[in-house]
Amino acid sequence: MTVHQQVLDGSHRAFMLGYLENLALIERLHRLLLDVVKDEFERLGILEINPVQALLLFNIGDNEVTAGELKSRGYYQGSNVSYNLKKLVELGYMHHQRSEIDRRSVRVRLTEKGRRVRGQLHDLFSRHAEGLEKRGVLSPAMVEDANQSLKRMERYWTDQIRYIY
């Protein structure tokens, strides 16, 4: 093995270790986000929905969507989104209406109760953003850099799914 090959192998190894750390951090951060939402909702006495359902309400926001649209945007997986939407309708957090054109398709939007939960999550995330910035944990530029890196990784993974397999 030449010195050049050793350098390349070393830099690839360092990149691989960094990439694996990124993957572990993404996974841990997602679980931690769910725990943060669960803790906030327990504090507020909102016990009938779980953190995944709460984030679903947050992500739908003021939009009217179908389960298929949520899946195609990459937010949620098939049966998981259908189950959670059904539960949120049953609990009064969402309205649903069958499409006049395609009777198989159901459009959903938040009720007032759902909008209140979305607002509570917005308040929580606003407090977090303010705290992160005030304490110097993250700057606006650091947040933008992280977002750009994660978007590039998302595009790469999406291409792997669409074009490789």
**Could you read off the pLDDT of 6-54 as tens digits, one per residue?**
656 778 889 999 999 999 999 999 999 999 999 999 999 999 999 999 9
Using CA atoms, how far residue 11 sits from 5, 23, 24, 69, in Å, is 10, 18, 20, 41
Tell me: pLDDT of 56 over 90.
yes
What is the pLDDT at residue 69?
A: 83
Can you tell me the distance from the alpha carbon of 111 to that of 96, in angstroms, rounded to the nearest whole number?
A: 10
**Could you read off the pLDDT of 127-139 as tens digits, one per residue?**
999 999 999 999 9
21: which residues sit within 8 A by CB, 6+ positions away? none
- Residue spans per domain, the chain: 47-158
Averaged over 134-152, what is the pLDDT? Answer: 97
Protein fold of 47-158: Arc Repressor Mutant, subunit A (1.10.10)
